[in-house]
Amino acid sequence: MLFSIEEILETISMISVEHLDIRTVTLGVNLRECAGGNSKEVAEKIYEKICEKAERLKEVVNEVSKKYGIPIVNRRISTSPISQLADSLNSVIELAEAMDKAAKDVGVDYIGGFSALVQKGYTKGDHLLINSIPEALSSTERVCSSVNVATTRSGINVAAAVEMGKVIKECCSVNPILGSRLVVFANAPPDNPFMAGAFHGEGESEAVINIGISGPGVIRSVVERMEGASLGEIAEEIKKTAFKITRVGELVGREVAERLGVDFGIVDLSLAPTPERGDSVAEIIEKMGIEVCGAPGSTAALALLTDAVKKGGMMASSSVGGLSGAFIPVSEDAGMARAVEKGGIILEKLEAMTSVCSVGIDMVVLPEDTKEEIISAIILDECAIGVMNDKTTGVRVILAGKPGEWVELGGLLGRAPVMNIREFDVSKFVKRGGKIPAPIHSMKN
């Protein structure tokens, strides 16, 4: 992969001035061979396998970061969905604790894969894992959990969405911050490097490096310089910039994979914001000419942004995957949090915006007394958007405080005001259970 002098100088500016970074290097590890035996035996095999594959991850990532002068913010691990190892077990808590210990010992900040895929129904292992999520997250520091309850091909497992409403409520009643480590998906990608939704999916190789690269500050600077330009011209410049960012990510990912002796998987080019001012997707939308993110026109601006980023990434690499697009997590994006405070973003507007971006209702702080039926209904709404649009959507919420209060989550999780929610009775609807069938266009293939 060759770079021109101009590209190198431009990349240096992106890194030093515009907050370009590799947000995460995620090592995916296949754990299927760890099945068999009692909980203690499976846990021991999980710990040994993760440590074997990830022993040099931190060292290699640091070396590559230093070589190219590119900040790499997080080192993470994703594993096969743990529920697939649990059908013959009576407990999975020891498995979660083994994951946590392995992550700590190899020096990564998060490990994903305490997961279940239940869009079509449950196995014994799925039930066991889902019921164990509150205890597993509260007894670990680094373990992240995800549950996929819908796909375009299968429809929506309503019973699973209802159950996850209860699980989220229970997790946040133990500690609100646990909500940041749990996401409920529709159409979960098997190669997503971002937490809390990362897992090593079916069809993946024994071990693989997936890269998550982020540059909302870079895109913001591009738009800021284009005063008076048409929206089509802005889209073209975003596409060109996304192309360059993707090349940086693939360069880093392939070298890390080669040094570790594992496969290179994908580059996930997602504009993942941080609480730092300027590193915000909301501010990109506002720089296009919208006073406050969430005002009329915001969904169109976000659609333009997401599509241009995807097009640029696809032109730059044949290995683009994961979510790739634009994230709008409220607490992790200082601009989004300010938009909530100003009234530009309300829950219903946020839901509309999720129809055209890469994620769903993400890192939203809801009142601590929000009913579990409301949470389940929010999950069902997001699943409907994902299923009908054949895209990934998710729900990751924090229950804390009262409407209007600000909640501090710390670090990259940021801070956000508690969003007001309309508490109409939806219990009869969600309690009907069953499944929402797959849409007619799911049969197009």
pLDDT digits (tens, 9 = 90+) for 131-162: 999 999 999 999 999 999 999 999 999 999 99
Q: What is the pLDDT of residue 5?
A: 46
The range of the structural domain enclosing residue 16 comes to 1-445
**Omega before 282 within 30 of 0, i.e. cis:** no
Q: What is the pLDDT of residue 445?
A: 56
What integer best gives the mean pLDDT of the chain?
90
Residue 248 has pLDDT above 90, yes or no: no
Beta bridge partners of 258: none
Residue 329 has pLDDT above 50, yes or no: yes
Which one is predicted more confidently, 28 or 278? 28
- Cβ–Cβ under 8 Å, residues 282 and 327: no
Q: What is the pLDDT of residue 12?
A: 52
- Mean of pLDDT values over 311-327: 83
Q: What is the pLDDT of residue 17?
A: 46
Q: What is the pLDDT of residue 293?
A: 96
Which one is predicted more confidently, 363 or 276? 363
Residue 364 has pLDDT above 90, yes or no: yes
Structure-token match 């590119």, residue found: 70
Q: What is the total count of domains within the chain?
A: 1
- Cβ–Cβ under 8 Å, residues 330 and 337: yes
Residue 111 has pLDDT above 60, yes or no: yes
Residue 399 has pLDDT above 90, yes or no: yes
C-alpha–C-alpha distance, residues 345 and 351, integer Å: 10
Residue 203 has pLDDT above 90, yes or no: no
Residue 91 has pLDDT above 90, yes or no: yes
Which one is predicted more confidently, 24 or 8? 24
What is the CATH number for 444? 3.20.70.20
Tell me what percent of the residues of the chain surpass a pLDDT of 70: 95
pLDDT tens-digit series, residues 163-193: 999 999 999 999 999 999 999 999 999 999 8
Radius of gyration (C-alpha) of the chain in whole angstroms: 21
pTM of the model: 0.92
Residue 299 has pLDDT above 90, yes or no: yes
C-alpha–C-alpha distance, residues 260 and 101, integer Å: 21
